[in-house]
Amino acid sequence: MYRIVTKRALTPTLVLLEIEAPLIAKKAEPGQFIILRVDEDGERIPITIHDFDREKGTVSIIFQIVGATTEKLNRKQQGEYIQDFVGPLGIATEMPGVKKIAVVGGGVGTAIAFPVAKKLHNQGVHVDLIVGFRNKDVVVLEEEFKNASTNFIVGTDDGSYGRKALVTELLEEQILAGANYDAVFCVGPMMMMKFVCKVTEKYNLKTIVSMSPIMVDGTGMCGGCRLTVGGETKFACVDGPDFDGHLVDFDEAIKRGKMYGEFERHAHEATCNLFKKEVK
């Protein structure tokens, strides 16, 4: 059993949990993930590590309430326990030799971008952290982002906060202004990553993408995170989650990712109705 040390609602549907897991905290690195079960009857779900504190022995995750399991997880309160918390899994993000980088995050993907930016920034790398959100109401972790970067650049779709611009526009502006990046790291919605890679391809700029958003069971057995990279079949959970963005077949990955949307929605609704009956 793993104790919830801190619970923090970032938005009505986005929640941060700090979990007491000293063995995982000791080994965790940016880019890796854990697999958890809320209770002994629950399903296993993979969630990317947002942060970790080796001294406190805690690991932080951020999840969006989209399905049955995340609804159950959100019902847990600070001081309570979850059944299983296993990791760290996956290959850690490595950017050797990089002196200047753009770390690009969109939506929930900003939670994954954060630890990568933080580690590189602490190593003395110049980090331009570019993040995008739908509107001001869903902007999260602003102070944390500022502390983990050299320059923090934020855009919103409607212009209600920061610049009214997509992350692709903000990134290209920096490139054209002479940013001279050694590489780009990108994570967020699949369509966003696809078009970030289209921008960087024009400038022959190395781009690493995290394909963690398409993971399902986290072991490679379900095939849900299967993707084509450079003409070869890979699995995001065991071969990644980081890949060369210019080699990823995003159209195939986007199509596969849509397969589970309707199932998650129905499972979430059923779980919410079950909780309502229990309350009565």
Distance CA 98, CA 14 (A): 32
pLDDT of 184 strictly over 80: yes
Residue 165 pLDDT more than 60? yes
Look at the pTM and tell me if it is higher than 0.95.
no
Mean pLDDT for the stretch of residues 226-242: 86
When pLDDT is cut at 50, 70 and 90, the band that residue 271 belongs to is very low
Please give the Cα distance from 140 to 20 (Å, whole number).
23
Tell me how far apart the terminal alpha carbons of the chain are, to the nearest angstrom: 29
Better pLDDT: 96 or 239: 96
Q: Phi and psi (nearest 5°) for 151?
A: -130, 130
Cα-to-chain-centroid distance, residue 187: 6
Task: List pLDDT tens digits, range 57-94.
Answer: 999 999 999 888 899 999 999 999 999 999 999 899 99
* pLDDT, tens only, 105-159: 998 888 889 999 999 999 999 999 999 999 999 889 899 999 999 999 999 999 9
Q: What is the pLDDT of residue 185?
A: 97
pLDDT digits (tens, 9 = 90+) for 202-223: 999 999 999 876 666 555 566 6
Retrieve residue 1's tokens. 């059993």
Beta strand extents in the chain (DSSP E only):
2-11, 14-20, 33-37, 45-53, 58-64, 81-82, 84-89, 100-106, 126-133, 151-156, 163-164, 183-187, 207-210, 226-229, 232-235, 242-244
Q: What value does the mean pLDDT of the chain take? A: 88
Q: Which amino acid belongs to residue 113? A: A
Q: Does the structure show a pLDDT above 70 at 267?
A: no
Task: Specify whether the CB–CB gap between 193 and 209 falls below 8 A.
Answer: yes
Closest listed residue to residue 184, CA positions, set 94, 101, 121, 106 = 101
- Structural domain 100-259, CATH architecture: 3-Layer(aba) Sandwich (3.40)
Kindly report, as residue ranges, where domains of CATH 3.40.50.80 are found in the chain: 100-259
Using alpha carbons, list the distances in angstroms from residue 161 to 139, 165, 261: 8, 10, 29
CATH 2.40.30.10 in the chain, residue ranges: 2-89
The alpha carbon torsion through 43, 46, 50, 55 (nearest 10 deg) reads 70
CATH code of 2-89, in short, is 2.40.30.10
